[in-house]
Amino acid sequence: MTPASEPILFNDLAAAYQEHKSALDAATLRVLESGWYILGQEVRDFESAFAAYVHVGGCVGVNSGTDALLLALRALHIGPGDEVITVAHTAVATVAAIVLAGATPVLVDVDPITFTIHPAAAAAAVTKRTRAILPVHLYGHPADLAALGAIAQAHGLALIEDCAQAHGATFQGQRVGSWGDAGCFSFYPTKNLGALGDGGAVVANDDALLQELRSQREYGWTPAQRYVSQAQGMNSRLDELQAALLSVKLAHLDAENARRMEIARHYTALLGGLGDQLIPPVVRAGCTHVFHLYVVRTPRRDHVLAALKAQGIGAAIHYPVPIHQQPGYRDAVVTHDLAHTEALAAEILSLPIHPWLRDDQVARVAAALLAALR
Ligand SMILES: Cc1ncc(COP(=O)(O)O)c(C=O)c1O
């Protein structure tokens, strides 16, 4: 196959493995031979390294990003009768975690430029039952954490960051996950920092909260006594193998994020200038966007998507149906004005982006997209 006709993958996890193969193989063997597979030294080492990376006091490794959000809510004692303000324009996991905690998701609109929660909309949705604001750093672009922090402080609310798509992103020079009471990460394999299975983590500065999270992830046990639950908890442990693999990959996160940003700059240079016909992503001043996804906006989205697919180019929609319109969740949420959210869902298109995408592939994707709009 010539480079001009080869399929272009949306993501390439096999390439990621090949890139780090010897270190990943060695880490795997180390864990297999250790005879210790759950919550051991590998998890402790990864938790320390990731807390240092995010610049927070501590990190608690858990089973998934969904569990990270659920455990953060539970550890902050948010549950039935409480409202949590978040967005409808997100992965369903954000809202699923709030529902699993027994609280009510209150969905507000996004800023149409960054596709992240609109601070004024969040402020307008606060009621006497509101307990938390849960911004999502969608696609890798930080939400406006300064404005949201001020709103949370003014109303005595918790700020819980959904960082599942934004490992390493910064707002005013400070890593996402370190602004809120808790920062929740997913290590799903496609994420910027991805395990080779499920995984997640909560980061926080408050020691009491970190202790509560550790207890919650293992049935409500405490370090002083196993097999006796001091509170109600669950099983959401990060395993040794995933922790060892994540430690290998964490060392490369900044370099891989830098390559994602470089690819994004190439795309934007090639795709700009078409006005409303094609709007490339915007990076707000004071933010670094780590481009988990590179999402353009075009009124001819379905036509463009079909044209790319016909040429073997992997493109996708994140997300096609806002949460308040999904059958499983529409009756579980309270909604505010979601005009931007609903307009976006019909126009967004995610182009291939991952650290192993070559410049000639970026150029081919861009050319195919421009040709489809001609
Ligand atoms: C924004 C967002 N929040 C939460 C999650 C949940 O993460 P996980 O799939 O690890 O449960 C994801 C990933 O799917 C996500 O993209």
CA dist 212 and 216 (Å) reads: 6
Residue range 126-150: mean pLDDT, rounded: 98
Residue range 173-194: mean pLDDT, rounded: 98
Does 64 share its domain with 167?
yes
Classify residue 341: in a domain, yes or no.
yes
Does 211 share its domain with 277?
no
User: Could you tell me if 118 and 108 are in contact, meaning their C-beta atoms sit under 8 angstroms apart?
Assistant: yes
CATH number of the domain residue 83 falls in: 3.40.640.10
Give yes or no for residue 4 having a pLDDT over 90: no
For the stretch 353-363, pLDDT in tens is 999 999 999 99
Distance 162 CA to ligand 1 centre (A): 8
Does 231 share its domain with 260?
no
Number of the ligand 1 atom closest to the C-alpha atom of 69: 4
Confidence (pTM): 0.98
Helix (H, G, I), strand (E, B) or coil at 78: coil
Which pLDDT score, from 0 to 100, does residue 371 have?
A: 97
For the stretch 25-56, pLDDT in tens is 999 999 999 999 999 999 999 999 999 999 99
Proportion of the chain above pLDDT 90, given as a percent: 98
Question: Is residue 131 packed enough to be buried (19+ CB in 10 Å), middle (13-18) or exposed (0-12)?
Answer: buried
Classify residue 104: in a domain, yes or no.
yes
Res. 136 pLDDT band, cuts 50 70 90: very high
Does 214 share its domain with 331?
no
Does 290 share its domain with 215?
no
Classify residue 262: in a domain, yes or no.
yes
Classify residue 346: in a domain, yes or no.
yes
**Average pLDDT over the chain, rounded to whole?**
97
Classify residue 1: in a domain, yes or no.
no
CATH number of the domain residue 358 falls in: 3.90.1150.10
Does 290 share its domain with 208?
no
Q: How many structural domains is the chain composed of?
A: 2
Number of the ligand 1 atom closest to the C-alpha atom of 138: 1
Proportion of the chain above pLDDT 70, given as a percent: 99
Helix (H, G, I), strand (E, B) or coil at 296: strand
For the stretch 86-134, pLDDT in tens is 999 999 999 999 999 999 999 999 999 999 999 999 999 999 999 999 9
Does 241 share its domain with 279?
no
Classify residue 5: in a domain, yes or no.
no
Residue range 298-302: mean pLDDT, rounded: 98
Domain that holds residue 330: 253-373
Distance 85 CA to ligand 1 centre (A): 17
Does 27 share its domain with 169?
yes
Residue range 235-253: mean pLDDT, rounded: 98
Does 361 share its domain with 297?
yes
Q: Where are the alpha helices (DSSP H) in the chain?
A: 13-19, 21-34, 41-54, 65-75, 92-100, 119-124, 145-155, 207-216, 240-250, 253-271, 301-310, 339-345, 359-373
Which pLDDT score, from 0 to 100, does residue 12 have?
A: 96
Nearest Cα residue to 203 out of 191, 218, 192, 187: 187
Distance 164 CA to ligand 1 centre (A): 5
Does 245 share its domain with 298?
no
Number of the ligand 1 atom closest to the C-alpha atom of 136: 1
Distance 68 CA to ligand 1 centre (A): 9
Does 290 share its domain with 327?
yes
Distance 26 CA to ligand 1 centre (A): 28
For the stretch 310-330, pLDDT in tens is 999 999 999 999 999 999 999
Ligand 1 binding residues, C-beta < 6 A: 64-66, 90-91, 93-94, 136, 162, 164-165, 186, 188, 198, 200
Which pLDDT score, from 0 to 100, does residue 2 have?
A: 56
Classify residue 8: in a domain, yes or no.
no
Res. 5 pLDDT band, cuts 50 70 90: confident
Among 250, 280, 315, the domain boundary falls at 250
State which of 62, 64, 66 you would mutate to test the pocket of ligand 1, scoring each by most atoms of that ligand within 8 A of its C-beta.
66
Number of the ligand 1 atom closest to the C-alpha atom of 199: 10
Distance 232 CA to ligand 1 centre (A): 24
Among 205, 229, 250, the domain boundary falls at 250
Distance 192 CA to ligand 1 centre (A): 12
Among 207, 231, 250, the domain boundary falls at 250
Classify residue 363: in a domain, yes or no.
yes
Does 127 share its domain with 149?
yes
